[in-house]
A and B are shown apart, each in its own frame.
Chain A
Amino acid sequence: MGEPEADEKNSFICVWLSLVTKHYKHAGGFAFRNREMLRIRIFPNFPFTVPHLYFSHTRFMGQPHVQWGSHICLYQSSETEWQPSDGLYGFFQRVDEWMTAAGKGELDPDDAPLHPPVAYPTSNTRFIFNCDAPNLEREGAVWIGRADLTKKRQGRFDVVGWVGLDDWGSVEQPEHVAAAILLSRRLPMEYPDTIDGLRNALEKNGVSFDLLYALLKVFAAKVPKDNPIYIVVGAPMRRKEAGTPLRQHLKAWEIDAMAVNALHDIVFGADDKEQAYAELAKWMITAKTLWCRIFENRSEVTNRRDLGSVLSSTEGKRILLLGCGALGSVVAEHLVRAGTKSLILVDNGIVSPGILLRQRYSDRDVGFAKSECLARSLSEIGLPTEIEVSFKNLETGIIDNFDLLHVDLIINATASAPVAHAIERDLQRACLLIPMISLSVSAAAQCGSVVVKMPRFHSGIIAIDRLTKIGLVKNNAHHPVVRAFWPNKSEVKLFQPEPGCSKPTFTGSSADLAAHAAVLLNIGLQRISELKPDQAETNLVPAPWSKEGSSGSLHLTLDDQRKALEQKHGYKVLTSKVAQRGIASEIKRIGRTRSDKVETGGLIFGEIDEAHGCIYVDSVTGPPSDSEASAEKFLCGTSGTRNIGAAKLKQSGRSSRFIGIWHTHPISLGRPSTDDLYAMARLLHGQERPPRHVVMLILGFSATDPQPNYYLFHRRDIRVVTEEELRLMLEGEVAV
């Protein structure tokens, strides 16, 4: 090792190292001399900057991991591989490893990604390769064609398509095109820096000078004088992953305007053709290759940076996004960046100045439709998601408004009760066989909620919310997250941004909403991958920075409920498993303690939702202690039922209440008997404070095969008449 020498500007010190190579030399590897002199540059802020290492010569120019002729590419990613605390110990260990691999010719082994070759940019033009290159079918073949370009701005072209020579005429040609030469054999690791060198390399690989010349003339004729043309040159020198086939390493060669002008003169027969030939020949022999700066974006050679993330599950999906507000506008951006195939943005709101402080809009958008403004800003990201906008009023539902056959996922970011009700109505009449995620935040954005409905869970957000509340409040009534979403009425304060004349909304900053949107979206997508097709789940997540943050999140997974049709009014009846189990165990009990021929029954707790025509049966009791039961009759007692009803109401946050009575017909049909109807009349009309409707559940043939039959009686369904009125009715003189 030599003495350190400082460079003239004191920007580094240089140390020469003479390395004995006996240990590294093998057939097939780098042809090391017995010693190799290496030059190490150590920078002033060592060890926080990695020293640079060079050979003292350029004999290994073109070999893998040797750049600029002598620079040794020691680290694939020095940011992660270089450890300052290990300093020169680690550096020399890496030198040893590198030399060992180089000596064995294993710097780019077949079972690892290839280090791509380099062509040092000498043109200011940028090329972005967005689509995979054509595959060459056989060794020795050459693919000649054109690369279709989109000119994004002066000096930037995106390659958006490839057209082979055979299809040249049949595929429409865009305004900007480049010639393309793709080889099936490798070029040197450093692409030739002279046109003469490149021409030779192409010729060796089957591209004759005549062919190259013809291409130059054809493409020069396509552009006006004083403009450059481009040739995309590719060779199979890339591999993304171990064991995968080689892919094209692409570079764009700029033919400068001077040469294009000469070609023009030759093609279009200028007066001084000889001069044009001379200029072109001079250019061919003496000019340096102008290599454009390349940005790779082909999936065949690049790995997505979000690989393996939860969000990446939306890649290629078609998503219907309801709501483009505080949550929706953030979610939309995430989806586009994740590679969603298509996105329908639905929102009929317009951008107002007040939302700029927390939604992804800008002043130029004020007064315009949110969905359109969001679509525009998303398209400016430049990723290929197809974006469609819709102004449909979601309060009319989604089934009739959208072609859901072409949607893979619905995300409801409206946090709107009317929209949730509309979807619930949709679900009353049809199944929605795609998963749905619904996001919302609490009043002060201190907590977020994400509801996931899997395709075969038959209820919508309204029902899931209700069941979640019942499920969580019972044991977590004072949990801050529960309090945030289901506060006591006295705690509710409506927030109106423009008091008196605007929809109430929540308070929260752009940071709050961005964080919630990302977290809730990720949780929702994760749950979709985990839940069964007939489940639903709600996750309530406090913001880590809020006072609720330390309380932890809550979640509840719901299984699909037994669905039945009420027989008088056609209500949908959803019976929980708890209720089903309660009934079954009482039937068993009565059979065991008395006889399976003896009727039994009890109270039903739940909710009758007249808006949606839905009856929720949450739980049941057995017969109250003062009940009487025989083979002919079940007399439902009242002892203790008030207390039970009050407890149920409290435990469910006032969502589950007394809604009716169940009983069995052990050996007969589950149809209402005269006694049953009389009982309904008594309930609806014979009490001091009667309910307005009562559910009667009769389990027919309960001794053998219990069949539930639900009947809903509204108070108006039973009229109390005098004997006279009854007589007249029977005689047909009074309408029934």
Chain B
Amino acid sequence: MFDSRGVLFWPVGTGDSTTFVVREDKIMFQVDLRHTAKSEDDETDCAPIIDHLEENLPEVDGKPYLSAFALTHPDEDHILGFAELLDRVTIGELWFTPRVFREHDDDEDGMCEDAQAFRDEAHRRVTATIDAGGDPGSGDRIRLIGYDTLLEEEHYQGFPEEFFSVPGHVVTALNGEELEGEFRAFIHAPFKQDDSAGDRNDTSLVMQVVLGDDPTGGGVLLFGDHKYPTIRQIFDVSKENGNEDNLKWQILLASHHCSKSVMYQDEDGIEVLKKDILDDFERLQVGDGMVVSSSLSVPTSNSSGDNPPHAKAKARYEEIAGGGFLCTHDDGGHSAPLQFNLDAGQFVLDDASSVDEPHSSEGKSALAAAVETARGSDETPSEKVGFGQWS
């Protein structure tokens, strides 16, 4: 499963679980996790991701070994099962963004158990790192992602800068190993509190991951659960700082599980399409980019107030993605991840992981069928109809 460099998006319901194979069967980088009890039941098509990881990760000291784990934000659909993962798998390095936990500082109960487990583990590692005065070694390593003033805070004073990244930084090391040429993550967000443009979801970690060293060839863009305002801000800031290459993508993980809030905004009670963000996505697409929705099947339409995935968002992505739109629950095999292997710098969808659609040219197009229906028939009535006298 991890014998080819690339990236896997797991079918875990509407939630994110992404695995980067940085070095074949050696270095895996997991971003977010959603392992549900349901996924252990073969009747569903959700993948029991921890089982897969446990089974396929390399073993070190007799235990499956994950090089690094990054959390975009501690919502249940991004962290579910972390405690179990920690128990069953050795995690070399955690990527921790304190900013995403800030709102829970005064509300411990609002956080799910797995998020608490992540935070506790992160805090443990921060302390271990400070205590070690440098690299605490695999299993205790942590990469802090934040803003410049974070290290001035009480909990983080003395934290070594080599394990600290701010938006605008490039990370090329995982779990203490320098991987220049093999791995490159550009950190886009979260911004400082004052700069934050939206709600909790807008504090998610955002990054471009390139399995190489050239961002211009396009990488995988992970936006967590961000909505239009922050994504707009990310594009603007990147442009302003000459960093647009770091937004180039071959694969775009649709933010917030294909939420329409990426490109629609409520303005005075009217839902307005923000075409500017779609134009930017399209402009920074490299080749025939693919948009992946890590979600249950996208319905053909939604009612007002429906949670993601949203049909409207899928439609907009389909209009810009040269390589098409893929859904982890529609386009992969049963309980199998959508797997993209790296071939000469290009992410290529593994044939075995995709479901072939029936040939499309048979019958009428949707438009032709709609025209026919709208026009109506000119046949005489097929059933008797009765008429009576007025009384």
Contact = CB atoms under 8 A, between A and B. Distances in A.
B365 A24 contact: yes
A23 B366 contact: yes
A20 B366 contact: yes
Interface centre among A22, A31, A95, A100 (most CB of B within 10 A): A22
B360 A100 contact: no
Interface residues of A, number: 25
A57 B315 contact: no
A33 B316 CA distance: 11
Contact of B315 (A26, A35, A89, A99): A35
A99 B367 contact: yes
B320 interface: yes
Main secondary structure of the interface of B (DSSP, over half): helix
B361 A23 contact: yes
Q: How large is the interface on B (under 10, 10 to 19, 20 to 34, 35 or more residues)?
A: 20 to 34
A100 B321 contact: no
B361 A26 contact: yes
A25 interface: yes
B356 to A, nearest CB: 13
A18 B320 CA distance: 11
A81 to B, nearest CB: 16
B365 A2 contact: no
Contact of A33 (B321, B366, B375): B321
A96 interface: yes
A647 interface: no
A2 B357 CA distance: 28
Contacts of A34: 318-319, 321, 324-325
A548 to B, nearest CB: 48
B321 A93 contact: no
A508 to B, nearest CB: 53
A31 B273 CA distance: 25
Contacts of B360: 22-23, 25
Interface in A1-31: 2, 16, 18-20, 22-26, 31
Interface in B254-279: 273, 275
Interface in B80-127: none
Interface in B354-374: 357, 360-361, 363-368, 370-371, 374
Given A20-B366, A96-B368, A99-B367, A2 B361 contact: no
A95 B325 CA distance: 24
Contacts of B136: none
B370 A100 contact: no
A667 interface: no
A24 B360 CA distance: 8
Given A22-B360, A93-B371, A35 B365 contact: no
Contact of B319 (A26, A31, A56, A100): A56
Interface string A30-45: 0101111100000000
Nearest to B270: A3
Nearest to A104: B361
Nearest to B288: A31
Contacts of B282: 57
Contacts of B319: 18, 33-37, 56
B315 A96 contact: no
A92 interface: yes
Interface centre among B315, B363, B364, B365 (most CB of A within 10 A): B365
A100 B322 contact: no
Interface string A98-118: 011000000000000000000
A37 B371 CA distance: 18
Contacts of A25: 360
A57 B320 CA distance: 10
B298 to A, nearest CB: 12
B321 to A, nearest CB: 6
A16 B324 CA distance: 20
A639 to B, nearest CB: 79
Given A34-B318, A96-B368, A89 B374 contact: yes
Contacts of A99: 365, 367
A23 B375 contact: no
Nearest to A86: B375
A89 B375 contact: yes
A289 B328 CA distance: 49
Nearest to A17: B367
Contacts of B361: 23, 26
A31 B375 CA distance: 30
A405 B319 CA distance: 71
Interface in A61-97: 89, 92-93, 95-96
B368 to A, nearest CB: 5
A92 B318 contact: no
B250 to A, nearest CB: 15
Interface in A506-547: none
Contact of A95 (B321, B367, B374): B367
Contacts of B365: 20, 23-24, 96, 99-100
Contact of B368 (A16, A36, A93): A93
A100 B371 CA distance: 15
B367 A96 contact: yes
B371 A35 contact: no
A56 B282 CA distance: 12
Contact of A2 (B273, B324, B325, B363): B273
Contacts of A36: 319
Contacts of B320: 33
Nearest to A31: B322
A176 to B, nearest CB: 47
B318 A89 contact: no
B367 A19 contact: yes
Contacts of B321: 33-34
B391 to A, nearest CB: 39
A28 to B, nearest CB: 13
Interface in B295-325: 315-316, 318-322, 324-325
Given A2-B273, A33-B320, A18 B315 contact: yes
Contacts of A22: 357, 360
B289 to A, nearest CB: 10
A433 B275 CA distance: 77
A35 B368 contact: no
B371 A96 contact: yes
Contact of A89 (B275, B357, B363, B371): B371
A244 to B, nearest CB: 30
By Cβ-Cβ distance, the 3 closest A-B pairs, closest first, are A35-B318, A23-B365, A34-B318
27 contacts: A16-B273, A18-B316, A18-B319, A19-B366, A19-B367, A20-B365, A20-B366, A22-B357, A23-B361, A23-B365, A23-B366, A24-B365, A33-B319, A33-B322, A34-B318, A34-B319, A34-B325, A35-B315, A36-B319, A56-B319, A89-B371, A89-B375, A93-B368, A95-B367, A96-B365, A96-B371, A100-B365
Given A18-B319, A37-B316, A96-B371, 15 more contacts: A18-B316, A23-B363, A23-B364, A33-B320, A33-B322, A34-B318, A34-B324, A34-B325, A36-B319, A56-B275, A57-B282, A92-B374, A93-B368, A96-B365, A96-B368
